[in-house]
Amino acid sequence: IIDLDNDGRISKEEFRCAWLYWLKQILKPVTALVIVDMQNDFISGSLALRECPAGQDAEAVVPVINSLLEQNLFDVVVYTYDWHPENHLSFVDNVGLRNMHPTSKVTKEDAKVHDEPVFDIAGVSRQQHLWPKHCTQGSWGAELHPDLKVAENAFHVKKGMNPDLDSYSAFWDNDRLSKTELSSILAQKRVTDVYVCGLAYDICVGFTANDSVDHGFRTVFIEDATRGVALDAISKKRESLLSKGVYMADSAEVPSLI
Ligand code: VGL
Ligand code: ZN
């Protein structure tokens, strides 16, 4: 890859390419694409992002992710699913099912979507953002978008099954009490580099990227392959991920990173 026609010297760009080439020979990176929650409910169902404060079109990421998959860039592909039981505490209609903590400013009677009441779960206070009922196990809303390409030999990871606890990250629940299968899949495949995309930027993709760094993976966030809920939360999440060392990428540059 080194072209010595430049008076026998190599250019900076050639040096950079050679350096990266040898680094990869030594480190042998193993890459995984983690496609977060590309489910009907977040695209055109009960929690459609276009009806959330940022008003973003979640369907626009389907062709971006399909194009990444068609290039066969990744050693491992994982699809994650928000997979809630009917009585999940994040559903606004379920607020009456549980005790509120005395410090909660939100009451059972006036709770609405995007409120953040504090529940008393067996003596433990737990604050929870309220959402419309979404991604219930086995429902149409919990299925992947029908146009999303499903890679052969991909892994499928479910999260959010505990009725009393939410799970934004695909690695573990919001209180870090229990793990999903994701970290053991990535460990078993000797993955070093995790690329994240999907829905939603400021919620499940952001939490997954954060925890990917905490698990020691080089983490790339493919920004044009994700959409979010609220603009202020998106920019806060972006800053916090950058400060943790997450690389913010455009899907077009991903092949050059691998
Ligand atoms: C998500 C809200 C509630 C997500 C999941 O996948 O980003 N957002 N549950
Ligand atoms: Zn959810």
Tell me which of 82, 133, 135, 159 is the catalytic residue: 159
Q: What is the pLDDT of residues 164-184, one digit of tens each?
A: 999 999 999 999 999 999 999
The verdict on the CB of residue 82 being under 6 Å from ligand 1 is yes
Question: Residue 161 Cα, ligand 2 centroid: separation in angstroms?
Answer: 9
| b/e per residue 83-110 (b: at least 16 CB within 10 A) | bbeeebbbbeebbeebebbeebebeeee
In this structure, the residue with its CA closest to atom 4 of ligand 1 is 204
Q: Which of 39, 41, 82 to mutate to test the pocket of ligand 1 (most atoms within 8 A of CB)?
A: 82
This prediction has a pTM of 0.91
Q: What is the pLDDT of residues 70-113, one digit of tens each?
A: 999 999 999 999 999 999 999 999 999 999 999 999 998 999 99
The verdict on the CB of residue 254 being under 6 Å from ligand 1 is no
Q: Give the residues of the chain that fall short of pLDDT 70.
A: 1-6
pLDDT score, position 14? 83
Rounded distance between C-alpha atoms, residue 16 and residue 2, angstroms: 10
Specify which residues 195 forms β-bridges with: 33, 220
pLDDT score, position 6? 65
Rounded distance between C-alpha atoms, residue 231 and residue 239, angstroms: 13
Give the other-Cβ count within 10 Å of 162's Cβ: 17
pLDDT score, position 10? 79
- At 97, the amino acid letter reads L
pLDDT score, position 2? 58
Strand order across the 155-159 sheet:
155-159, 76-82, 31-36, 193-199, 218-227, 247-249
